Amino acid sequence: MNEDRFLCVAAAGFGLESVVRAELQALGIPGERVEDGRVFFRGSASEIARCNIGLRAADRVLIQLAEFPAVDFDAFYEGVRGIPWRDLLAPSPRVTVDARSVKSRLTAVPSLQSVAKKAIINTLRGGSTGAGPRMEETGPAYDVEIIVRADHASVCLDTTGPGLHKRGYRQETGEAPLRENLAASLVLLSRWEPSRPFADPLCGSGTIPIEAALLAARIAPGLSRAFAAESWPLFPPSTWKQERESARASILRGVQTQMQASDRDAGLVRIAEANARRAGVAEMIRFRAARVEAFTPEGEYGCMVCNPPYGERQGQKHEVEALYRAMGMLYRSIPTWSLFALTAEEQFQKFFGARASRNRKLYNGNIRCWYFQFFGPLPRR
């Protein structure tokens, strides 16, 4: 491993790898290759800090330390022990191991975690058997992620800590909140630009319009939170300070946007307004309580992005189908607009009354969803 540049992984939700790769490119970091849920790139300490602070759609940023065959626990132990942990970790680190196994002979996840932790501690204590002095885990925290797939192990260090979706502005939510990075992904996939109107008539606690406003004002999503790697000697504090200062300097002040958001639940609208204030974008979004049938988007060539209810609970199905029909009527009343809806209802188009221009399969947590994209005309330039 080169001391100046690391092989890194930007973890992404299934179906969002291309979005994350485009974001890396915009940050000046070319992606090397893409696998399911993972975009690989090479980055310096500064670039890793930049990714944590600036990526909107990714789940977290990892440093890949090693890949090796792991057909049995002996090979797995030796592979983990061969990593230069003393060069990577602070003295007396607090190490947590998270492991997964996919189509491999080593299927016992608790055993994988235990063996890996033993290999790391033994290496830090000075030998294959850990014969050195007992190690107190009082230093910085390190989360080690291990995936054993098809009898090959991949070992990574998580530089992020709590997932990148935790921006810090959302202290209250509705019943089924959309993760912030998924909401940002929906906006990025919509072709929306701040010069066009934006609307979410089913805004809930406001995540989608808030993420759109952050994008319009170029406010980095991780600007107000801390990251795991900030406490590591491997990353000088000046690295994070400089990247935050650069991100602050990129913010656009006084952005003029035409953004509307509404929900039929007035209590949720109040929560959305409070979340927008904490995010620093309250003045950019006009919130109000209204049903979809009464929602009137303003302007031409706008984008409507929403996450309507799925109707998975018994007794809700007919109500949700009626909502989808109302959404279709609204869309047909605004011919220059585009509409984008994420839902777990595969028959959404039937009730909406139109066929989507494009359909992308995504996951909202563990729920398989479809992102139905109805493209309207683009504004004349």
Closest CA to 321 of 345, 289, 339, 356: 345
Catalogue all structural domains in the chain, each as residue range(s) with its CATH number: 6-158 (3.30.2130.30), 180-374 (3.40.50.150)
Q: What pLDDT does residue 2 have? A: 40
Q: What pLDDT does residue 312 have? A: 60
Element (H or E) spanning 289, and its range? strand 285-289
Phi first, then psi: give them for residue 271, nearest 5 degrees.
Answer: -65, -45
Token duo for residue 36? 């399911």
With a CB cutoff of 8 Å and minimum separation 6, the contacts of 137 are 92, 93, 94, 95
Task: List the chain residues with pLDDT less than 70.
Answer: 1-3, 127-133, 174-176, 311-315
Token duo for residue 339? 């509409």
Q: What pLDDT does residue 353 have? A: 97
Q: What pLDDT does residue 146 have? A: 98
Closest CA to 224 of 61, 48, 53: 53
CA 229, distance to chain mean position in Å, is: 18
Identify the bridge partners of residue 43 per DSSP, sorted by sequence position.
6
> What pTM, to 2 d.p., does this model score?
0.93
Pair 42, 8: CB distance under 8 Å: yes
Closest CA to 20 of 181, 248, 244: 181
Q: What pLDDT does residue 314 have? A: 43
Q: What pLDDT does residue 167 have? A: 95
184-228: pLDDT as tens digits:
999 999 989 999 999 999 999 999 999 999 999 999 999 999 999
Pairing of strands 60-69, 6-11: antiparallel
Which own/partner contact pairs does 69-72 have at CB distance under 8 Å and 24+ positions apart?
69/151, 69/152, 69/153, 70/104, 70/106, 70/148, 70/151, 70/152, 70/153, 71/105, 71/106, 71/151, 72/105, 72/106
For residue 359, give the 3-state DSSP assignment. strand
With a CB cutoff of 8 Å and minimum separation 6, the contacts of 267 are none
Q: How far apart are CA 362 and CA 343, in angstroms?
A: 9
For residue 197, give the amino acid letter: P
With a CB cutoff of 8 Å and minimum separation 6, the contacts of 171 are 274, 275, 278
Closest CA to 113 of 125, 105, 126, 101: 101
CA 315, distance to chain mean position in Å, is: 32
Q: What pLDDT does residue 129 have? A: 54
Phi first, then psi: give them for residue 350, nearest 5 degrees.
Answer: -60, -45
Place of tokens 């003045």: 283
Closest CA to 281 of 201, 333, 215: 215
